[in-house]
């Protein structure tokens, strides 16, 4: 249960990072209208439903780790097609809609595989609270992933406004491509937390039956989830109720309220969040191998 919670927190932070300049680029480079965007959202919901039905019918007994690896690689493939838009090879709004909707089906693989073991780790009588804990942890890090996404824009001044992106200069294309590469790399790094996810039902039950417990990691996992939840709640409240006053602060995902505002707190938040993901995962998954307590790195993923 503790490992599963850490897997959720870390994978949702890193896999939730997006190219924050994409929405502006879609508007000025593709002329993506609101109606087309709503059609895309509708298609995504349909594809998500088709993915759920297909997995329920054909893939319930597949390895959860392999499903997530396959889904992540295919999502990355569709994300790389955006380079065709960046470099003006194909700039059709329906091409972007096709790639985005296709990646949504692969996202379904990751979504379901990450939740399957929840049924197995829930003790009788605690199913509801287990579901609440896991879903709350996964949703609480979404605002944090968004803040991380927008903070990367600070390193790419040509992507700061729609007007500068509309210039479509070689420098704009270069910065948009570099930011897209960074986003893809961070998304793929979510696979490093895969060893914290059991392979299938049998392995999950064996882990539960082993009765392995840790007060420290249990407390640390709950504290992590609580911290992310508090931050998520504050960001949501500030950006909705107090948007005119505090919504522009970088620490809340804004672009900055003034030229004098320091970016240090927001950048510290980004660095601390990514270090949390990678360091905790290294201690739990990879350090035991270096100490000889686990067999090999290959066993962690397959």
What does the alpha-carbon distance between residue 44 and residue 218 come to, in Å, rounded to a whole number? 36
What does the alpha-carbon distance between residue 130 and residue 127 come to, in Å, rounded to a whole number? 5
CB 196 within 8 Å of CB 284:
yes
Model pLDDT for residues 222-273, shown as the tens digit of each residue: 888 888 888 888 877 877 777 777 767 777 766 677 777 777 887 888 888 8
Both tokens assigned to 131: 């579901």
Across 15-29, 33-47, 128-142, 189-203, the highest mean pLDDT is recorded for: 15-29
Model's pTM, two decimal places?
Answer: 0.84
First-to-last CA distance in the chain? Answer: 20
Secondary structure letter of residue 285 according to DSSP: I
Q: What is the pLDDT of residue 140?
A: 77
Residue 130 banded pLDDT, cuts 50, 70, 90: confident
Tell which residue, 295, 267, 300, has the closest CA to residue 281: 300
**Beta carbons within 8 Å of 186's beta carbon, 6+ residues apart:** 14, 17, 274
Q: What is the pLDDT of residue 176?
A: 93
Q: H or E element: which one contains 54?
A: helix 34-58
Provide the domain count of the chain. Answer: 1
CB 64 within 8 Å of CB 198:
yes
What does the alpha-carbon distance between residue 167 and residue 158 come to, in Å, rounded to a whole number? 9
- Domain harbouring 116, CATH code: 1.20.1250
Tell which residue, 238, 280, 265, has the closest CA to residue 14: 280
Computed on alpha carbons and rounded to an integer, the radius of gyration of the chain in Å comes to 20
CB 178 within 8 Å of CB 21:
no
92: left (phi over 0), alpha (psi -120 to 50) or beta: beta
Tell which residue, 193, 38, 190, 48, has the closest CA to residue 107: 48
Residue at token pair 């838009």: 85
Q: What is the mean pLDDT of residues 139-148?
A: 80
Look at 103 and 189; give whichever has higher pLDDT: 189
Q: What is the mean pLDDT of residues 133-159?
A: 80
Residue 86 has pLDDT above 70, yes or no: yes
Least confident segment among 59-68, 103-112, 126-135, 262-271? 103-112
Q: What is the pLDDT of residue 300?
A: 63
Secondary structure letter of residue 154 according to DSSP: G
Three-state SS string over 260-276 comes to: CCCCHHHHHHHHHHHHH
Both tokens assigned to 246: 């505090």
Q: What is the pLDDT of residue 85?
A: 92
Structural domain including 244 reads: 2-301
Q: What is the pLDDT of residue 175?
A: 92
Average pLDDT along the chain: 80
């Amino acid at each position: 249960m503790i490992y599963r919670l850490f897997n959720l927190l870390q994978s949702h932070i890193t896999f939730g990072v997006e190219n924050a300049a994409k929405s502006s680029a879609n508007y000025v480079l593709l002329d993506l209208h609101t109606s087309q965007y709503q059609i895309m959202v509708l298609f995504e919901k349909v594809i998500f439903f088709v993915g759920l039905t297909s997995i329920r019918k054909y893939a319930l007994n597949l390895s959860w780790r392999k499903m997530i690896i396959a889904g992540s690689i295919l999502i990355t493939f569709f994300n790389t097609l955006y380079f065709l838009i960046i470099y003006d090879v194909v700039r059709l709004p329906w091409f972007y809609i096709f790639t985005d909707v296709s990646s949504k089906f692969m996202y379904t693989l990751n979504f379901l595989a990450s939740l399957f073991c929840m049924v197995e780790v829930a003790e009788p009588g605690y199913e509801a609270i287990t579901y609440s804990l896991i879903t709350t942890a996964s949703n609480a890090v979404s605002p944090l992933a968004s803040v991380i996404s927008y903070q990367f824009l600070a390193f790419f001044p040509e992507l700061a406004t729609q007007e500068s992106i509309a210039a479509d200069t070689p420098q704009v294309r270069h910065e948009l491509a570099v930011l897209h590469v960074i986003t893809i790399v961070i998304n793929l790094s979510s696979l490093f937390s895969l060893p914290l996810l059991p392979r299938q039902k049998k392995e999950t039950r064996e882990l539960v039956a082993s009765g392995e417990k840790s007060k420290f990691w249990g407390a640390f996992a709950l504290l992590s989830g609580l911290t992310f939840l508090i931050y998520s709640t504050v960001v949501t409240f500030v950006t909705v109720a107090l948007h005119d006053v505090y919504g522009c602060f970088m620490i809340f995902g804004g672009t900055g309220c003034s030229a004098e505002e320091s970016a240090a707190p927001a950048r510290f938040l980004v660095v601390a969040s990514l270090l949390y993901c990678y360091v905790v995962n290294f201690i739990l998954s990879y350090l035991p191998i270096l100490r000889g307590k686990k067999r090999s790195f290959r066993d962690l993923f397959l």
